[in-house]
Copies of this chain bind each other. A is one copy, B any other.
Amino acid sequence: MAKKTGEKYQSIIEAAVKVIARYGYHQAQVSKIAKEASVADGTIYLYFDNKDDILISLFKEKVGTFINTARARIAPLEKAEDRLRELIYMHLWQMSQDRDLAIVTQIETRQANPNLRAGIYEVLKHYLDLIDEVIFLGKEQGVFRPDIEHRVARKMIFGTLDEAVTSWVMNERNQNLVSLVDPIHNLFINGLKVAKQ
């Protein structure tokens, strides 16, 4: 029913990111988003099925683009370690570039609404797959331990990055997210323990 293309579709998405980041999803009334996008309330419904669909579409649009970019960026890198580092960098760098989007992604998107969660997860799955691919590659290349359960490693990688961005959005807005890339990468690769001499 909803036509998910066109200039207005894009401006509604942009308006939604801005308004939701500022007011929170609950206080981001459809009329507010419409106003920000300079369209009539009813117009929103020509492009989106309902309010939840705005958030889901926004997430798909933005995170989908991110995944594509990330995938393209790691492709030329040969070593799994480098790909992992690039992934960490991309994640943190992208988020630090668009704070409104980060707010929406880290906070507003975690709404309890089951409809939402399902839509969100569908997109996220592709990102988790990308992480998995890096882990598998590392194992193949003999640099990551073969006995590591990829699901566990994936949880570590995604969980850590996610928590890093959430902290930044919530409490550490002045910190430089990108400065965490190497420390995180190092920790993932080498773990906590002191190297044996």
Contacts and interface: CB of A to CB of B under 8 A. Distances in A.
Contact of A183 (B81, B114, B149, B189): B149
A145 B188 CA distance: 13
Given A188-B192, A191-B191, A193-B190, A170 B121 contact: yes
Interface string A73-94: 0000000010010000000000
A26 B110 CA distance: 13
Contact of A193 (B24, B144, B156): B144
Stoichiometry, copies per complex: 4
Contact of A110 (B110, B145, B152, B167): B110
A153 interface: yes
A162 interface: yes
Contacts of A117: 107, 170
Contacts of A143: 192-194
A183 B148 contact: yes
| Interface residue SS majority, chain A | helix
Contact of A161 (B121, B135, B159, B195): B159
Given A187-B148, A188-B192, A193-B145, A159 B153 contact: no
Contacts of A121: 170-171
Contact of A112 (B111, B153, B187): B111
Given A117-B170, A121-B171, A163-B159, A192 B145 contact: yes
A59 interface: no
8 contacts: A24-B114, A143-B194, A145-B194, A145-B195, A149-B183, A156-B187, A159-B161, A191-B191
